[in-house]
């Protein structure tokens, strides 16, 4: 990023020079609630480059998940446009991977068959999808649990299986909504480390919603701070920490601490406003 303004949303991320992958252009979302028109998002303008990792933080109810749902083709804006690769998003796409706070594995399918599921829907031959699932389970450290069922795994292992399932379809866009939020601190760091290692080895575009500011700074190329409802972008901060990143040690780096503190001052104001309302 060189000497570019750290708050600018123009230009490529530190690691990649690429074209625009997703764009929200003057997007507003409003809905009716008990005879009252509620504005969830207000005139959002956001561009994310290909292979860029962007984290979104903000108070509850500010529209973070709504942004992901629109990019997934599961919701539409009230006004403005949501685009992927220059085309208006009109519905779900097979090259989008959506991960939630819960692994959402199918309990009646083994871990391997969960990982195979997206490939099965696409008509990939059984031998090919089994080979791909076996490769990915080894990558995420679950090769010994292929025949296990989700209930037999810890939460952290379930999330690793969910990562493998998403990797299997090779999405060009990852939408992640608090994917590690339900994990304990130690497991969370382990899964974060594994995920960022996988992403850095073969980067795709990522939009990552989290309430954990530290997590956002550790993982992302940019951190977007949203205001209290109606959601607006109040900060777009580039993260100048080098890659590959050592998640365990980076938390103690003075530059990381300074960036987190800078963003927290903005985020704290939004939380205080949300609480007062």
Q: Please tell me whether residues 1 and 88 are part of one structural domain.
A: yes
pLDDT at 180: 86
The total number of structural domains in the chain stands at: 2
Q: What is the DSSP letter of 151?
A: G
pLDDT at 148: 96
Tokens of 183: 């994990």
- Name the nearest CA neighbour of 114 among 132, 100, 96, 141: 132
Phi, psi of 220 (to 5 degrees): -95, 160
Q: Please tell me whether residues 214 and 275 are part of one structural domain.
A: yes
> Which of 116, 147, 170 represents a domain boundary (last residue)?
170
Q: Please tell me whether residues 135 and 117 are part of one structural domain.
A: yes
pLDDT at 219: 95
The C-alpha atoms of residue 191 and residue 243 are separated, in whole angstroms, by 17
Tokens of 56: 């979104």
Apex 118 CA angle, 23 and 129, nearest 5:
130
Q: Please tell me whether residues 142 and 56 are part of one structural domain.
A: no
pLDDT at 77: 95
Q: Give the range of the structural domain holding residue 200, as residue numbers without chain letter.
A: 1-95+172-277
Q: Please tell me whether residues 193 and 270 are part of one structural domain.
A: yes
> Environment class of residue 155 by beta-carbon count within 10 Å: exposed (0-12), middle (13-18) or buried (19+)?
middle
pTM of the model: 0.85
Q: Please tell me whether residues 139 and 266 are part of one structural domain.
A: no
> Which of 153, 170, 187 represents a domain boundary (last residue)?
170
CATH number of the domain within which 254 lies: 3.40.50.300
pLDDT at 271: 62
Q: Please tell me whether residues 186 and 138 are part of one structural domain.
A: no
Q: Please tell me whether residues 146 and 191 are part of one structural domain.
A: no
Q: Please tell me whether residues 64 and 181 are part of one structural domain.
A: yes
- Reported as a single tens digit per residue, the pLDDT across 170-204 is 899 999 999 888 788 888 888 888 888 889 988 89
Q: Please tell me whether residues 91 and 181 are part of one structural domain.
A: yes
Phi, psi of 189 (to 5 degrees): -65, -40
pLDDT at 272: 65
- Reported as a single tens digit per residue, the pLDDT across 71-109 is 999 999 999 999 999 999 999 988 899 988 777 899 999
Q: Please tell me whether residues 24 and 150 are part of one structural domain.
A: no
pLDDT at 71: 96
Q: Which residues of the chain are under the pLDDT cut of 50?
A: 1-17
> Which of 127, 142, 170 represents a domain boundary (last residue)?
170
The C-alpha atoms of residue 170 and residue 18 are separated, in whole angstroms, by 18
Q: Please tell me whether residues 194 and 136 are part of one structural domain.
A: no
The C-alpha atoms of residue 202 and residue 217 are separated, in whole angstroms, by 20
């Amino acid at each position: 990023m060189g000497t570019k303004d750290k708050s600018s949303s123009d230009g490529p991320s530190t690691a990649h020079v690429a074209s625009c992958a997703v764009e929200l252009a003057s997007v507003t979302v409003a809905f009716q609630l008990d005879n009252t028109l509620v504005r969830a998002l207000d005139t959002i303008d956001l561009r994310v480059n290909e292979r860029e990792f962007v984290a979104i933080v903000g108070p509850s109810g500010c529209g973070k998940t709504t942004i992901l749902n629109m990019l997934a083709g599961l919701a539409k804006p009230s006004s403005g446009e949501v685009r992927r690769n220059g085309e208006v998003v009109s519905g779900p796409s097979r090259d989008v991977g959506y991960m939630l706070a819960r692994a959402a594995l199918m309990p009646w399918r083994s871990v391997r068959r969960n990982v195979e599921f997206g490939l099965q829907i696409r008509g990939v031959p059984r031998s090919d999808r089994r080979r791909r699932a076996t490769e990915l389970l080894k990558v995420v450290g679950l090769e010994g649990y292929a025949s296990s069922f989700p209930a037999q795994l810890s939460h952290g292992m379930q999330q690793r299986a969910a990562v493998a399932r998403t990797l299997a379809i090779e999405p060009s866009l990852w939408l992640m909504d608090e994917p590690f939020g339900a994990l304990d601190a130690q497991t969370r760091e382990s899964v974060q480390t594994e995920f960022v290692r996988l992403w850095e080895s073969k980067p795709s575009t990522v939009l990552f919603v989290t309430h954990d500011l530290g997590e956002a700074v550790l993982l992302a190329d940019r951190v977007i701070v949203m205001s209290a409802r109606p959601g607006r972008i109040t900060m777009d901060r580039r993260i100048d920490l080098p890659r590959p990143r050592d998640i365990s040690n980076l938390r103690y780096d003075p530059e990381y601490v300074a960036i987190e503190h800078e963003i927290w001052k903005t985020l704290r104001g939004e939380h205080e406003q949300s609480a007062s309302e």
